[in-house]
Amino acid sequence: MRFPLMYGEPISCKVFRIIGFTAAMTSATIMIFIAFDRYYTLCNPFHKFSAKKAKCLILIGFLIAVMFAWPSAFIMGSRNVETEIQGIVGTDCSYDESMVNTFYPTVYYFILSFAVILCIIILTVIYIKIGIGIWKWKHSDIGDPITDMSSVVNS
């Protein structure tokens, strides 16, 4: 941002923070569901998720995101910040003025960090299993009777 300390509306600050956290977490959960769909398709090539099931998973991902984002309505907001110029005070869109000297922002960011690390671990495990399944499938002999890819992926 060009002028980071000139943000003056606390309501829009809260709304934009909630939308940002919700969008980021929804994207992360949908990426996990896409990875799971790919793994499921590899294990069961003749079965696929229906459109109804996909919409349900997107809704679940959104609800998970809202669950993680709603505390930002109380923690985030505008606060006054001293600038480099003596006597001029800027407004920062980060923690609410009432949350500056509390432990709530630290706990909230710890929980968000844990959620991000958990998403990374889940994605890594799923894609490693996909990679192993593809490698085993690629290196299997032609003519081997494989009726279900789960025997290749899970072995």
Output the pLDDT for position 7.
57
Partners of 92 in the β-ladder: 79
- The one-character DSSP state at 89 is E
Structure-token pair, residue 26: 């929804």
Structure-token pair, residue 56: 């349900």
Residues 22 and 67: their CA atoms lie apart, in Å, by 9
Structure-token pair, residue 87: 């006597």
Instruction: Give per-residue pLDDT as tens, 115-144.
Output: 999 999 999 999 999 998 888 888 777 766
Provide the whole-model pTM.
0.75
Whether pLDDT at 152 is above 70: no
Task: Using alpha carbons, select from 95, 62, 60, 103 the residue that is nearest to residue 79.
Answer: 95
Q: In the chain, where are the structural domains located?
A: 10-153
CATH of domain 10-153: 1.20.1070.10
Residues 7 and 9: their CA atoms lie apart, in Å, by 6
Task: Using alpha carbons, select from 25, 30, 34, 33 the residue that is nearest to residue 114.
Answer: 25
**DSSP string covering 51-73:** HHHHHHHHHHHHHHHHHHHTTHH
Residues 137 and 94: their CA atoms lie apart, in Å, by 50
Instruction: Give per-residue pLDDT as tens, 5-63.
Output: 455 677 888 888 889 999 999 999 999 999 998 888 887 777 777 889 889 999 999 99
Label residues 56-67 b or e (16+ Cβ within 10 Å = b).
ebeeebbebbee
